[in-house]
Structure 1
Amino acid sequence: MIVLAKAPVPGRVKTRLTPPYTPEAAARIAEASLADTLDAVLATPARRRVLVLDGEPGAWLPPGIEVLAQCAGGLDERIAAAFAACTGPALLIGMDTPQVSPALLAPALGEPNRPDEAWFGPAEDGGFWALGLTEPDPALLLGVPMSVPETGRVQRQRLCDAGLRVRELARLRDVDTSRDAELVAAEAPHGRFARSLTASWSTAPEPPAPQSAASRTSVAEIPTAQPAAPRSSATGPAPSASSTAGPGAW
């Protein structure tokens, strides 16, 4: 079995999860997704388990997984090279379907495959999450447009055009957006992925509180102070001249 993955480094993985998640939280979610995927692979009867990795392995890598470096190039070239690195029949999956289980993979691994047979796992977004080839051939992959809505259709047609009998695995949702993450976590609520998603939400900063009605009062609504009434200059009857003149004023 082959797992094609990217090392969970902040800013390099699951960038479509930010926002609402921070790059660090997105990397933790990606690491949990990869860990769940590798757990499922380890539980299968595959004779060889290979992680074809873009980046460096970390403490998240369990024993029993062989690591090969991804080649440079487009995704079609990297998938083709991953198959080329493994002799004999191989089933390839990615790291974006943490809900995958040994039972979902079993049909492609449980019986000897004919030379003219291929396994195809369609994804909800129009791509594919799994591809199994009895006799890997780069020509089956090179030139297929990747990460677009028609990826799955074109890839499946390429297999059919090569005369292969295409058998399908279950349709799965892969994790690209935060909404995908929520739906996938609900499908597999007891895995590392779901726990990481919950923890990331619980540690996210609180959104700013809505502005109160009082603080939204406009200038036009602030009462204008009324001008004070003019004070009178006299406080009583005007004094007579005699009362104000001192001795010798005349």
Structure 2
Amino acid sequence: MTDRACVLVVAKAPVSGLAKTRLTPAATPEQAAEVAAASLLDTLDAVLSVPRVRRVVAMTGDLEKAARSAELRRMLRWFDVIPQRGNDFAERLANAHHDVADLPVVQIGMDTPQVTPWLLGSAVVSTLAGDAALGLAEDGGWWALGLKDPLHAMALRRVPMSQPDTGSRTLDALHDLDLQVSPLPVLSDVDTIEDARRVAALLPRSRFAAAVSVVRQPVS
């Protein structure tokens, strides 16, 4: 059966001291890496359940040094894994879309382990129905970007990333290309320990919730 789109996960190897550093000092660097690994694994699980899509991970970092390295390598056998390339995050995002440009693309990260196959499937449908789809994040960024023509990701090169207005500026950049942009549900990115605990409460039987539960609670 022919793939209708590509679901692209842009990911960073969850290496202790490099992954989810904003979870410290509540979490140790090792615990933060475990949370990041669990988030990525739960995200990949959701992608695996989306039908009729090509599954791609654009990866950066040393997977051999990552938390849950063996489990991640087993999971990634079901994905096409490509390297990220570029001098900054915006460039790496644009290049990742370009590298899978044979199909419409729905791109997500690894900071929304609450994503479901239904949400991803809906993002694919919205992308195919118009020109683009954008899922904003509660912190002002975005968690998902769908592009019927992946080469339109060049617009991201002009958008400052990891800023409070990244989401709105991404939407403006897409509108500047005269694209019809369908809105996706707003989700919470996991950046802080408060984010992590709030999202984990929604996913009681997940890898993510188990990893977050190990992080000590603040002393009252």
SS at match of 1:113: helix
CA positional deviation for 1:186: 1.2
Mapping of 1:169-248 within 5 angstroms?
169-201=184-216
1:165-189 deviation line (CA, Å, top 9, x unaligned): 1101110000000001011111222
TM-score between both structures, scaled by the size of structure 1: 0.77
**2:169 is aligned with 1:163:** no
Larger relative contact order (CA 8 Å, sep ≥ 6) = 2
Aligned pair partner of 2:116 in 101, 104, 108: 101
Aligned equivalent of 1:238: none
How far, CA to CA, are the matches of 2:86 and 2:28 in structure 1? 27
Match of 2:3 in 1: none
The farther-off stretch of 104-113 and 70-79 is 104-113
Distance 1:10 1:46, change over 3 A: farther
Q: Which amino acid aligns with 1:93?
A: I
Alpha-carbon distance in 2 for matches of 1:132, 1:111: 8
Aligned residue number for residue 143 of structure 2: 129
Q: How far off is 1:73 after superposition?
A: 1.4
Counterpart Cα distance in 1 of 2:127 and 2:14: 34
The separation in 1 between residues aligned to 2:29 and 2:107, in whole angstroms, is 27
Q: Does the CA contact (< 8 Å) of 1:55 and 1:69 recur in 2?
A: no
The answer to whether the 8 Å contact 1:46/1:109 transfers is no
Amino acid at match of 1:159: L
**Partner amino acid, structure 1, of 2:114:** Q
Aligned to 1:25: 31
Distance 2:215 2:79 in 1: 28
Pair 1:12-2:18 in alignment:
yes
- Give the structure with the larger strand fraction: 2
How big is the shift at 1:121? 0.6
Equivalent position of 1:147 in the other structure: 162
CA positional deviation for 1:72: 3.2
Distance 1:108 1:29 in 2: 25
Counterpart of 2:88, as a letter, is G
Instruction: Give the structure with the larger helix fraction.
Output: 2
Structure label with greater radius of gyration: 1
2:41 is matched by which residue type in structure 1?
A
Describe the shift of the 1:129–1:165 C-alpha distance in structure 2 as closer, same or farther (beyond 3 A): same
2-side partners of 1:129 and 1:112: how far apart? Answer: 15
| TM-score (ref. length: structure 2) | 0.87
Match of 1:214 in 2: none
Q: CA–CA distance in 1 between the matches of 2:154 and 2:189?
A: 25
Give the gaps of 5 or more residues in structure 2: 1-6, 64-68
The whole-number CA distance in structure 2 between the counterparts of 1:89 and 1:196 is 34
Q: Which aligned runs of 4 or more in structure 1 are off by greater than 4 angstroms? A: none
Report the counterpart of residue 37 of structure 1 in structure 2: 43
User: Once the 2 structures are TM-superposed, how far is the Cα of residue 54 of structure 1 from its aligned partner?
Assistant: 0.7
**Relative to structure 1, is the Cα distance of residues 21 and 111 closer, same or farther in structure 2, using a 3 angstrom cutoff?**
closer
Measure the CA separation in 2 of the matches of 1:151 and 1:111.
Answer: 21
Two-structure CA RMSD over aligned residues (Å) = 1.9
Partner of 2:61: 55
